Structure 1
Amino acid sequence: MDVQADLTRIDAADVLELRVGDAGGGALALRRHGQSGGGLLTVERVVRAGGSLRAPLEGLPLDDGEWDVLWVDGDGRTAPVDTTDPGVHLSDRAAYLRRPRRRELRAVRDAEGRLLLRSTTVEPYAEVDWVEPPSPGTDTVGVRGVLAYAPDPDRAGAPAVVARQRGLDGVVEAPARLDGRAFSGSVPLEPLAARFRPECPHNEWDLWLRLPGGAELRLAALADDIADKKRKIVFPGTVLEGGGTPVRVRPYYTVANELSLLAVADGGAR
């Protein structure tokens, strides 16, 4: 009993869509990856239209981890669903980010070409889709993006981009703009250079978006699934006078793909 899907996606409402062609009658179930035998979690209310299935997953008790997607035939026999779809649909990811949620569901293909469902607990954050590094003669870093997994923001109050000096007490704030769930702002770098602490070879400043009402979201770039941005994406910096000491400041991604700023004495480590 081989079932193969040439399209697998999960939409913003956590509905799994499969295109399975002429697989015949059957049902869908989930089982914790690596388990065998029982432990099936039946997916109810599956709607079929031709060769496509739409299976609502919202409300299912899916713990964090990976789940096998199984086809259950009329005799109760199960078989894994194979897929040729890599499961990367960036336009779907953009829509998925815009819904408030505490659990992220992803359709992924394993090394054997079998369809898995990945469940992950998530926290709201500010997804960065553009960084404008400082150009010669400028002293700001621009950012823009969208609120990810967060409730719709209040309209009363002014948003801000907040830079916090990691492990120290420096705080720099700058106005931000909200257009629906999209945000943008610029961080001035002169105040960071003025607060440079030469006893710390690296002065790191972590970036947050403060929403009207006071909630703060960490700036990060997670939606594109590009791992290890710290090594793969290197932004240029600019040199500023920091209390008489030339200081080079540039944006960078941390090991967790969060956006921060790095200040070092010019001529030091970059």
Structure 2
Amino acid sequence: MTPPNPPAAPLRADCVGDSAGGLTFDVAARGNTGAALLILRRRDTDAEETVSLPLAPAAEGLLRAALPSSVPLPEGRWDAYAALSDGEPRRLVPGVTDLRSLAARTPGGLLGHVAVRIPYATRQGNLTVRSWLRAPHAETAELGLVNGGLTVRGRVYGTQLTAEAHAELRARTATDSEGGGVRRVDVVTERADFGFTVRYDALAPGDWDLWLRPAGESGPVVRLARLLDDVADKHPVLICPRARVLTPDGPVEAGPYYTDDNDLSLSVVPSTP
């Protein structure tokens, strides 16, 4: 009886980010003699959505594909595959990743949007690219604790701040009866930079999402997020300090956190005296 063929060794891809927000993939594939593609498949969509990039020889046994920032990649998680001349697309695993240029990047915002792509290893050890496409974008640069509250500093891209600019805290559930679930916060601006302070004692228990209105009520509503670095999932990595304060609803413990999409939110939970 002929033993079954052993499974093919996983294909490994090195990833390098550039200062414009693009990515280069180097796939180790010895013996490939025909056309090859790097395929990105968007996860959790009803219809299959893919982006195919040609893999061209870069050195002996090495194929290279480029994903420039000018190529549209809708927001989401994109699983990476390589389709070589010898068969069906095969899932890629991450090799060496160099994202130093992404962490030092300052987008111009001239296109009216900010595109961010960060490759990472999934729990199964496969290569996936997390993509964001924000138009416009409000980047959180610094969070600071103050007495009973939080200071937020950041910068907008793809739009301008006006004298009517302000921030909004929106309750994620309808448990906040006062103020209709929205708290308006004054903003200090300087060119593209903004800053504001949130008082925890004005918030009912629950989760509050942070938004910016760069032009006031008549302009866009922009979700605050931290995207311009090399961390694909900040929620389990960036743990922010919390504070205990007294509110009209009783004592609470409050603090900021980043969601699974790296958006900035606040958590307010009742605490025992």
TM bin (shorter chain): 0.5 to 0.7
Q: 1:127 to 1:119 in 2, by over 3 A?
A: closer
> Which of 210, 220, 223 lines up with 1:218 in the alignment?
223
- Does residue 83 (structure 1) correspond to residue 91 (structure 2)? The answer is no
**Range with greater deviation from structure 2 (214-223 or 249-258):** 249-258
Question: What is the count of residue pairs matched by the alignment?
Answer: 240
Q: How many angstroms apart in 2 are the aligned matches of 1:221 and 1:205?
A: 16
* TM-aligned CA deviation for residue 70 of structure 1: 0.1
* TM-aligned CA deviation for residue 78 of structure 1: 5.3
- Does residue 168 (structure 1) correspond to residue 178 (structure 2)? The answer is yes
- Does residue 227 (structure 1) correspond to residue 235 (structure 2)? The answer is yes
Q: 1:218 to 1:88 in 2, by over 3 A?
A: farther
Match of 2:121 in 1: 109
The superposition leaves residues 20-70 of structure 1 with CA deviations (integer Å, 9 ceiling, x where unpaired) of 478576532316489xxxx986414x6765567341365468795543320
Corresponding letter in the other structure for 1:215? P
SS at match of 1:84: strand
C-alpha contact 2:161 2:214 (8 A) present in aligned 1: no
Match of 2:138 in 1: 126
Q: Taking every aligned residue pair, what percent have the same amino acid on both sides?
A: 17
> Which of 233, 237, 253 lines up with 2:257 in the alignment?
253
C-alpha contact 1:109 1:116 (8 A) present in aligned 2: yes
* TM-aligned CA deviation for residue 84 of structure 1: 2.2
**Cα RMSD, aligned residues only:** 4.8
Structure 2: state its 5+ residue gaps: 1-7, 44-48
Q: How many angstroms apart in 1 are the aligned matches of 2:237 and 2:126?
A: 28
Structure 1: state its 5+ residue gaps: none
C-alpha contact 2:135 2:158 (8 A) present in aligned 1: no
Q: 1:117 to 1:260 in 2, by over 3 A?
A: closer
Corresponding letter in the other structure for 1:216? V
C-alpha contact 1:134 1:238 (8 A) present in aligned 2: no
- Does residue 145 (structure 1) correspond to residue 183 (structure 2)? The answer is no
Q: How many angstroms apart in 1 are the aligned matches of 2:27 and 2:95?
A: 11
C-alpha contact 1:133 1:250 (8 A) present in aligned 2: no
* TM-aligned CA deviation for residue 239 of structure 1: 5.3
- Does residue 207 (structure 1) correspond to residue 210 (structure 2)? The answer is yes
TM-score normalised by length of structure 1: 0.59
TM-score normalised by length of structure 2: 0.59
Q: How many angstroms apart in 2 are the aligned matches of 1:203 and 1:63?
A: 27
SS at match of 2:168: strand
C-alpha contact 1:134 1:237 (8 A) present in aligned 2: no
Q: 1:67 to 1:254 in 2, by over 3 A?
A: closer
C-alpha contact 1:130 1:143 (8 A) present in aligned 2: yes
Corresponding letter in the other structure for 1:109? A
